Structure 1
Amino acid sequence: MNTIIPFALAFVLITIASLRYRLPPFLSLVGTSIVFGLLAGLPAEMVITSITGGAGRIFATLGVVIFSGVGIAQVLRESGRIEEIVADIRGAVRRPLATAGTAGYLLSVPLMCGITSFLILAPIISHLQTDGEASKALLYCAGIAGMISYVLLYPAPVVYSMMATPGLFSANPWKFNLLAIPVSFIILAGLFVVLRSRGIPPPAPPETTTTGWHPRAWLPFLVILAALACGTLIPSLHALANVNLALLAGLFAALISVPGDVRERALARGTKNAGIIIFDLAGAGAFGGVIAASAFSADVTALVTGYLPITLLPFVIAALVQAAQGSRVVTATVTATILATIPAVLVINPFALVLMVSAGAFMFSYASDPFFWLLKQTTGDDFAAVVRNYTLPLSVAGVVTLAAALLIQAL
């Protein structure tokens, strides 16, 4: 049976399960994997094997990364050090808009979750302005800025999951940031310009007293950077360049720098949150594993050939997956698994390929996106306002990222 129709049906099932019945992503993705696999003509045994294999690969790839990032976030939140980090950033950049954007951009990568970083920043960011509309603008700025770095930069889970897909990416992953960071800065600067043009009130006069910098609040991130630097520059310590070890080192640094009661609360709540995230991502791996085992890659290549250049295929698939289920890591995981089975795609420049998938992950951040509803709840805006202030800016970011990818491919 042609797999295009079962794939379209899978999109519908995921959307209904997520929006109508509010099922967690793990259940909706695993259930949809079974339906898609059987309709695609796979034997039941192969469907189950593909589900467990795909889920297991995601746990092996992202389990330590997610647990460590969420754990660090919870330690910082329980100890009150997020406020200190924001205060340090505000002391350096002064303006509330730049503070909100910088904090969101910087924290979403080491905390390994754009939503987690927004949740711990929102109560602080919202008080940087007394004007209600200006406060909302700061929240949107922090949320979108966090998504920019989360989707574009390595080793955040979106890019990390693509580069960890067997047979898809063989270049040095850190070199990717030499391209991704300038692209992210361009998008971030555009965001600042647009929000500033809306007439956000000027910042309050700077306070006359200061408490200086708070190095303990930055300790986990400094340890992560030090581990990566030592592992890269010192051959005998090469193991430290492994992202899993670097993040574990950052987590231990965070844990030993706080009192025992804070450590216990942070571990209890962090473990719970990390488990939810990891299971959701495992569901994405299950869905991707079943898709890869089917004839979907051959069918979609045959469908696209003659209508679109093959270089646009990664972007198109990623945008469709993003529209269906909303999670950017799921989008990256499923799309990368599909692309690894399409030989024609592997001739694309690997850096351009990753940027194209990231561009697709920016698109259509709409009703299926859990962050859409979180922003709606946090800001109190209506549906149309969230589309205007969140969905459209991220889609513009996707177009800019796609243009950068096509430029890299052309050169």
Structure 2
Amino acid sequence: MINLAILLLLVVGIVLATARWKISPFLALMGAAVLGAFLYRMPLAEIVPTITESFGGTLGNIGLVILFGTMIGVILERSGAAIAMAEGLIKILGTRFPNLTMSLIGYIVSIPVFCDSGYVILNSLRKAITVRTGVSALATSIALMTGLYATHTLVPPTPGPLAAAENIGVTNNLGMIIAIGLPVAAVAAVAGLIFASLHSRKEFTPLPAETETDISGQSYEELRASYGRLPNGFLAFFPILLPLVLICVGSVVKLPSQPIGDGTLFDVVAFVGTPVIALALGLLSSVMLLRGHGKLARFNEQIYDSVRLAGPILLITGAGAAFGGVLAASPLTDFLSDNLSGLGLGLAVPFLIAAALKTAQGSSTVAIVSTSAMLAPMLGTLGLDSTEGMVLAVLAIGAGAMVVSHANDSYFWVVSQLSRIPVATAYRTLTLATAIEGLAAFVTIWVISLFLL
């Protein structure tokens, strides 16, 4: 029992450090790794190599993938491509179904763009559709929030699922994660959409804007005009679709059945389907979104901003891997193997751990990284050590990392403040919506597991 007590102590320490004392998650995870090494009585000569090899190995495998994905997201955001994608979908769907429109826009935009940024970008569009259709602002806010949240936690190249795939050891099957994650995220988004639709005629007293220049007071026309000429709709979608398609095709050609053989064509398709190459090609294609004079200067500025944005994510990912490396090398692995194998908990374990961490400390990314690091030693015990099991474990962690968004989550405040939803109302609607969404995603994953495991 002492091994489990140490793990619980470390987890509580991470939660207190990040949620209550506001210590950087990077420092909290690294501190937990070092403290765990001593508490589990690892030989002194093995502590530093275990931590540094786990840290460096993870960043070496997915560091560029996270960086390139972040760069694509920043360019889509700054170039107006996110607005162009939204307008393209509105042309197809119209404004007859405003909640569906906002949910679908969020679902697509959040694949490369962080959900917080996505909501800021799309809030003025949401307001314009709300006014045009007469639906409740509460409903469109929930629909956009849950649409963004679904792919943010479930679909690479978002950093959270990428880090989980690396920690669990399934980065070679990102195509499978994407192929399963997209429909799972769609079910989660539909659950959020249904909940949003229940509030289509429910009004609330909005909070006053904090300042006269509050971003929530910006009209959609002003936001659109600030980007100048928007990119072509097809070009706006292309930097997202290209890497997703390449990664999925690359995974398909590597199947044991070898659908295209093992010659030169296989080598080429497998190469461009490698996540880092696929995202690099997506980044190159995003350059087409930049218009006007000074494109090179703006590109360099956006790349610099991307590096600054990706830096903390990379550090947290590496620190989570170091923590996981210590746990994997500790007696905890044998203890869990002896005590969990007969319980039949399976996918419920990663879901519940991620949900507990998410609810306790607020960050979905930290919950995903920490849970995947802790889960790695348990995979065999839980019956999740097959390729399919590891893929579903990654998705179960993502589902848990939605449950629930409340006052300790920056996303909760982004949505509630920009939509000017009072906190009490936000708890009854936004928080409940994320709980419904996460549970819907997990139930879907569990049903899929009945056929794959």
The bucket for the TM-score relative to the shorter chain is 0.7 to 0.9
Gaps of 5+ in 1: 202-210
Deviations 1:103-148 (A, max 9, x none): 211122234x333433433344344323999334433322221221
| 1:174 counterpart = 2:175 | yes
CA distance in 2, matches of 1:327, 1:386: 18
Q: 1:299 aligns with which of 310, 314, 335?
A: 335
Partner of 1:105: 107
User: For the structure 1 residues 222 and 8, does the alpha-carbon distance in structure 2 shift closer, same or farther, using more than 3 Å as the test?
Assistant: closer
CA distance in 1, matches of 2:246, 2:177: 19
| Secondary structure of 2:136's aligned partner | helix
Of stretches 186-195 and 359-368 in structure 1, the one that deviates more from structure 2 is: 359-368
| 1:248 counterpart = 2:280 | yes
CA distance in 1, matches of 2:142, 2:26: 28
Of stretches 41-50 and 69-78 in structure 1, the one that deviates more from structure 2 is: 41-50
| 1:15 counterpart = 2:21 | no
TM-score of the superposition, structure 2-length normalised? 0.76
Aligned letter for 1:396?
Answer: I
CA distance in 1, matches of 2:347, 2:238: 42
Partner of 2:240: 221
CA distance in 2, matches of 1:153, 1:24: 25
The offset of 1:304, in angstroms, is 4.5
Deviations 1:327-384 (A, max 9, x none): 3344333333333323222456515434433332232444443323433443343444
Residue pairs, 1:308-327, within 5 angstroms: 309-310=345-346, 312-327=348-363
Gaps of 5+ in 2: 203-229, 254-259
CA distance in 2, matches of 1:91, 1:242: 34
Aligned letter for 2:25?
Answer: P
Figure out how many residues of one structure are paired with residues of the other and give that number: 400
TM-score of the superposition, structure 1-length normalised? 0.83
The offset of 1:230, in angstroms, is 7.0
CA distance in 2, matches of 1:312, 1:216: 40
Partner of 2:69: 69
User: For the structure 1 residues 299 and 318, does the alpha-carbon distance in structure 2 shift closer, same or farther, using more than 3 Å as the test?
Assistant: farther
CA distance in 2, matches of 1:314, 1:373: 26
Of stretches 321-330 and 284-293 in structure 1, the one that deviates more from structure 2 is: 321-330
CA RMSD of the aligned region, Å?
Answer: 3.3
Residue pairs, 1:49-68, within 5 angstroms: 49-68=49-68
Q: Alignment identity in percent?
A: 23
The offset of 1:212, in angstroms, is 11
Contact 2:191 2:437 in 1 (8 A): no
Partner of 2:189: 188
Partner of 2:303: 267
The offset of 1:273, in angstroms, is 0.9
Of stretches 86-95 and 53-62 in structure 1, the one that deviates more from structure 2 is: 53-62
CA distance in 1, matches of 2:66, 2:21: 27
Contact 1:12 1:324 in 2 (8 A): no
CA distance in 2, matches of 1:272, 1:72: 14
Of stretches 317-326 and 101-110 in structure 1, the one that deviates more from structure 2 is: 317-326
CA distance in 2, matches of 1:130, 1:282: 45
Partner of 1:135: 137
Partner of 1:30: 30
Aligned letter for 1:344?
Answer: T
CA distance in 2, matches of 1:178, 1:220: 18
| Secondary structure of 1:362's aligned partner | coil
The offset of 1:86, in angstroms, is 1.6
Contact 2:187 2:444 in 1 (8 A): no
CA distance in 2, matches of 1:39, 1:115: 37
The offset of 1:239, in angstroms, is 0.5
Partner of 1:204: none
Residue pairs, 1:147-166, within 5 angstroms: 147-165=149-167
